[in-house]
Structure formats: structure tokens, C-alpha cells
């Protein structure tokens, strides 16, 4: 089972910031938080990942709480093309190491 909890859907106005929350209360000390998104009919796309410090790249920013039990993905100026399912992932341990489990994600609708 996925180790994260996300709201099933969210709306955002075009041009505004989209803030997507994720809870990962059982995260272990050395596990990263990963975010991917999947635009309709395409393969999932890597967005960003982080351990405990806030991270920013050309796509998004990632804010991780000090206790690391939750995080927020921020798309600073959402466009219609950002409409997608966003997955927050913390890998789970298994034999041989860790594996990535995708949950249901958050379906983000960006509206004009």
C-alpha cells in the first residue's frame, strides 16, 4: 500500500498558485518524498523530490514540514496544461530494497 494520503481532486484558477497537499506520517528518516504527475494518456512525469529542506526547480516548489509528516507541492502559476493527476510518493521497503507504490493521486483541474 502507498504510504501517502492525498485529496482525490482539487480545482485551481489559471494563473494562480496550485497548492497540493500530501500526508506521509509514517515516513522514515532517510526516505525522500517524490512527486510525479500524469497528463491524460501519457506516462507519469517526474516533477521534484526532497528529503527535509524545501526544494525548487523549473516546474514546482516542494515544501516539507519540519517533522516531515506532510508536504505541499506548489505550482506557482498554474496553466491549463497543468491539469493532470499528481502523485505524492514515499517508497516502501521490500526485499531487495525499496519500491515505488503509486496511490490514487490528486486530480488537479486548472480552470480558465
By CB under 8 A, what part of segment 43-72 binds other proteins? Answer: 43-46, 49, 51
Q: Based on CB atoms, which residue is closest to other proteins, 7 or 14? A: 7
* Per-residue binding letters, 78-97, with other proteins (x by CB under 8 A): ---------x---x--xxxx
Indicate the burial class of 105 (C-beta count within 10 angstroms; 0-12, 13-18, 19 or more).
Answer: buried
Place of cell 493527476: 85
Q: Based on CB atoms, which residue is closest to other proteins, 42 or 53? A: 42
Alpha carbons within 13 angstroms on the beta-carbon side of residue 15 total 1
Tell me if 8 contacts other proteins by CB under 8 A. no
- DSSP 3-state of 80: helix
Cβ(98)–Cβ(77) below 8 Å = no
Tell me if 30 contacts other proteins by CB under 8 A. yes
Binding region for other proteins (CB under 8 A): 30-32, 34, 36, 38, 42-46, 49, 51, 87, 91, 94-104
Amino acid at each position: 500500500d502507498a504510504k501517502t494520503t492525498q485529496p482525490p481532486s482539487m480545482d485551481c484558477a489559471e494563473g494562480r498558485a496550485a497548492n497540493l497537499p500530501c500526508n506521509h506520517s509514517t515516513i522514515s528518516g532517510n526516505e525522500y518524498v517524490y512527486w510525479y504527475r500524469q497528463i491524460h494518456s501519457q506516462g507519469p512525469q517526474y516533477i521534484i523530490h526532497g528529503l527535509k529542506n524545501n526544494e525548487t526547480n523549473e516546474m514546482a516548489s516542494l515544501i516539507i514540514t519540519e517533522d516531515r509528516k506532510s508536504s505541499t507541492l506548489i505550482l506557482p502559476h498554474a496553466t491549463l496544461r497543468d491539469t493532470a493527476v499528481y502523485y505524492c510518493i514515499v517508497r516502501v521497503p521490500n526485499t531487495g530494497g525499496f519500491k515505488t507504490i503509486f496511490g490514487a493521486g490528486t486530480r488537479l483541474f486548472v480552470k480558465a
